């Protein structure tokens, strides 16, 4: 298996990559749960909890990988509205508005898309490549979900 820079990746290397991805998913879970706890509006808190649950599902998928037998299921292709590409990333704070929260979340999902796309490009193992492409597609779906909220709820108010 070829990794970044053409170096051969062994099973331990692949395991390390998967562990890294698991940690990133847990960071996302913690991030969304933390924002949900800080949200002053119940509807916002519930949306953030949904995002945390989606990221937890990714973590579970990654934890359940048996590289030797992995067969991915096709992920739905999400349209890229590119809204996150044109908004300024903000830092979490206790007095965040709904637009601030959506903005931060869009940028996190964009970073996740890039991470899994890069990981897919760094491995030659077809099963692992397919897994990372699948998770990248799901992250694109999350980004699309947030961008749709931005388009329907935030842009209409401006």
| Domain CATH for 35 | 1.20.1260.10
Residue 41: domain span: 4-154
Are 140 and 113 contacting, i.e. CB atoms less than 8 angstroms apart?
A: yes
Q: Where are the alpha helices (DSSP H) in the chain?
A: 11-38, 42-63, 98-122, 126-149
pLDDT of residue 1: 40
Buried b / exposed e along 71-84 (16+ C-beta atoms within 10 A): ebeebeebeebebb
- DSSP category for residue 40: S
pLDDT of residue 29: 93
For the cut 60, the answer to whether the pLDDT of residue 126 exceeds it is yes
Q: pTM of the entire structure?
A: 0.69
For 68-94, the pLDDT digits (tens) are: 655 544 445 545 545 455 444 556 666
For 20-67, the pLDDT digits (tens) are: 888 888 998 998 898 888 877 788 889 889 989 989 998 998 888 776
pLDDT of residue 43: 84
The count of structural domains within the chain is 1
Counting DSSP H helices and E strands in the chain, the numbers are 4, 0
């Amino acid at each position: 298996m070829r990794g970044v820079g053409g170096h051969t990746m062994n099973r331990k290397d692949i395991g390390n990559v998967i562990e890294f991805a698991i940690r990133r998913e847990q960071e996302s879970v913690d991030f969304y749960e933390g924002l949900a706890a800080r949200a002053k509006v119940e509807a916002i808190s519930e949306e953030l909890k949904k995002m945390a649950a989606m990221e937890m599902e990714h973590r579970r998928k990654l934890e359940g990988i048996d590289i030797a037998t992995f067969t991915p299921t096709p992920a739905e292709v999400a349209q890229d509205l590119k809204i996150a590409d044109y908004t300024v990333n903000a830092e979490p704070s206790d007095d965040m508005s709904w637009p601030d929260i959506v903005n931060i979340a869009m940028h996190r999902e964009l970073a996740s898309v890039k991470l899994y796309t890069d990981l897919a490009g760094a491995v030659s193992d077809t099963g692992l490549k397919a897994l990372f492409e699948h998770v990248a597609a799901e992250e694109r779906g999350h980004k699309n979900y947030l961008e749709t909220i931005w388009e329907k709820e935030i842009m209409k108010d401006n």
